[in-house]
Amino acid sequence: MSELESGKSGGADEPVPFMQQILDNPFILLFLGVAAPSVLYTVWGVMEVISIPVAQ
């Protein structure tokens, strides 16, 4: 298994890549996971329902 461990080979001083920083932060992910569907699905959907004209 030792060759697998080599992923850590970059050493402690190698900066953590940007994407990994995001993926390592549960609260950024929580925000994204709630905000994206709230805007694109819920709010958009509710706006469409509200804008249906009422029958006279």
Partner 1 sequence: MAATHEYRVCPDTGFKIDLQADKLIKWNAVTAIVFLLIGGFFGLMVALTRWPTVHLLPADWFYLALTAHGVDILLVWIIFFEMALLYFASSVLLQSRLPMPKVGWFAYWLMLVGALLGNVVILQGESSVMFTSYVPMKADPLFYVALLLFAVGALIVCFLFFATLVVAKSEKTYEGSLPLVTFGAMVAAIIAVYTIASGAVILIPTLLWSLGLISHIDSLMYKVIWWGMGHSSQQINVSAHVAVWYAGAAVVFGAKPISEKVCRMAFLLYILFLQLASAHHLLVEPGLSAEYKIFNTSYAFYLAVFGSMVHGLTVPGSIELAQRRRGYTKGLFEWLRKAPWGNPAFVGIFLSIIIFGFVGGISGVVLGTEQLNLIMHNTIYVPGHFHGTVAGGTTLAFMALCYWLVPVLFRREIWAPKLAQWFPWLFGLGITGIALFQMGAGTLGVSRRHWDMTFADAPLSYDYPAAAHLLMAANGVSAVIASIAGAIFCLQMVLTLLIGKKREGAVPVASDAAEGLTGHGHGAGLAVPGTFVLALVFLTSFVLYYFVNWKYLSEIWLLS
Q: Which stretches of the chain bind partner 1, using CB under 8 A?
A: 1, 3-8, 19-20, 23-24, 26-27, 29-30, 32-34, 36-38, 40-42, 44-46, 48-49, 52
H/E stretch holding 20 = helix 18-23
Side-chain-side CA neighbours of residue 15 (13 Å): 3
The least distance separating partner 1 from the CB of residue 56, rounded to whole angstroms, comes to 17
The least distance separating partner 1 from the CB of residue 54, rounded to whole angstroms, comes to 11
CA 46, distance to chain mean position in Å, is 22
The least distance separating partner 1 from the CB of residue 6, rounded to whole angstroms, comes to 7
